[in-house]
Amino acid sequence: MNVLELKSADSASTASISVDRGFNCFAFRADVDGRFIDVIDSQPGFQDGEGRESGNGIPLLFPFPNRIRAGRYSWAGRDYELPDNLVSYDNTGNAIHGFCLDRPWRVVASGPDFAVGEFHLSRDAPDRRELWPADFVIRCRYEVAGSGLRSRFEITNPDTVALPWGLGTHAYFRLPLSADSRADQCLLVAPPTTQYELIDCLPTGGKSQLPDEFDLHDGIRFGTRKLDDVFGGVPADLVESCMMDESAGLQVVQRNPGSFRDLVIYTPPDRDAVCFEPYTCITDAVNLQQRGVDAGWRTLGPGESFSTWINIEAGPIIV
């Protein structure tokens, strides 16, 4: 397996990227003034092919994050069906998490503290090309700096027709942040104000204000509530999701622009980890948008590009 090891130029922070498993950053060890935090959760042996790509590290979800109902959608007058022998499906019969997380990427630039990976649909997954209305290129640049992991994304449409798309990441954050703490002592903080109605993990199109007893702004304790929910109403400029380990005095903050307009929060069962998943659109957006639901589905014209970013930073809790 092709694995890149990155090291910060100004600290002892490190990151590991599995190039062959979706350019997945499966480890990030942050140096916080000499204290080390294993920020990202993945099972031993992931770099050698163990475990699911969608269940470890930071899976990159494109050209659609989360699910497409029954793996079927229509676009520009054509019906599409995603066969289960070519794409991943959940256990209820929905295509899930796009085309990029389980195939090798290509490294197009690298240095001691950074790496850039590229995935071009028609080149890197030609068997999946006819499953999508247009060809695409996605680049991800990871850099380790100080106690942070920076990621930059660029999406380009090299085709002659419009490219429909949605982007998300699915980072598994490990809890607690110290060997002397417990996961149930950690606080999960996030900015959404609305929640989408779901049936079997698929949005109906309806949403509501978060109830007072579920105030993510003040935070909820890990383990007090099972989460696999889609949220909206995030700030239009800067979105911050945070894990606080108060007994250790440490926190991990994920920051991204408001172009990631929705947030999935997921607590995987039987595991001390939480996923904060920034999405540019909600689950099944390609179908919901055509029903008149504002789902965040985007398009890029021929030759157009779109850029965005996500940063993860470890450090002391700031009051």
Number of domains in the chain: 1
- What token pair was written down for 172? 């598994």
Long-range contacts of 43-51 (CB under 8 A, 24+ apart): 46/18, 46/21, 47/1, 47/3, 47/16, 47/18, 47/21, 48/1, 49/1, 49/21
Predicted pLDDT of residue 248: 95
Tens of pLDDT, residue by residue over 103-161, are 999 999 999 999 999 999 999 999 999 999 999 999 999 999 999 999 999 999 999 99
150: tokens are 């920076």
CB neighbourhood size of 29 (10 A) = 19
Contact predicate 272/174, CB 8 Å = yes
Tens digit of each residue's pLDDT (9 = 90 or more) over 41-53? 999 999 999 999 9
- Report the CATH number at residue 246: 2.70.98.10
pLDDT at 255 over 80: yes
Q: Quickly state the pLDDT bin for 9 (edges 50, 70, 90).
A: very high
Q: pLDDT tens-digit profile of 263-285?
A: 999 999 999 999 999 999 999 99
pLDDT band at 186 (very low <50, low <70, confident <90, very high): very high
pTM of the model: 0.97
Q: What proportion of the chain, given as a percentage, has pLDDT over 90?
A: 97
**Average pLDDT of the segment spanning 246-269:** 97
Question: What's the pLDDT score for residue 132?
Answer: 98
In this model, does residue 82 exceed pLDDT 80?
yes
Across the range 3-11, mean pLDDT stands at 97
Q: Give pLDDT tens digits for 26-45.
A: 999 999 999 999 999 999 99
Residue range(s) defining the domain that contains residue 253: 3-316
Confidence class for position 214, pLDDT limits 50, 70, 90: confident
Residue 295, pLDDT above cutoff 80: yes
Asked if the model's pLDDT at residue 238 lies above 80, the reply is yes
Query: Contact, 254 vs 267, CB < 8 A?
Result: no
Share above pLDDT 70 across residues of the chain, in percent, rounded to a whole number = 100
CA 17 distance to own-chain centroid: 15
> Quick one: pLDDT at residue 211?
84
Average pLDDT along the chain = 96
Q: What's the confidence (pLDDT) of residue 1?
A: 73
Q: Of 16, 19, 18, 21, whose CA–CA distance to 5 is shortest?
A: 16
Cα angle for residues 167, 228, 226 (degrees, 5° grid): 150
**pLDDT band for position 215 (50/70/90)?**
confident
Q: Examine the pLDDT at 205 and tell me if it is beyond 80.
A: yes
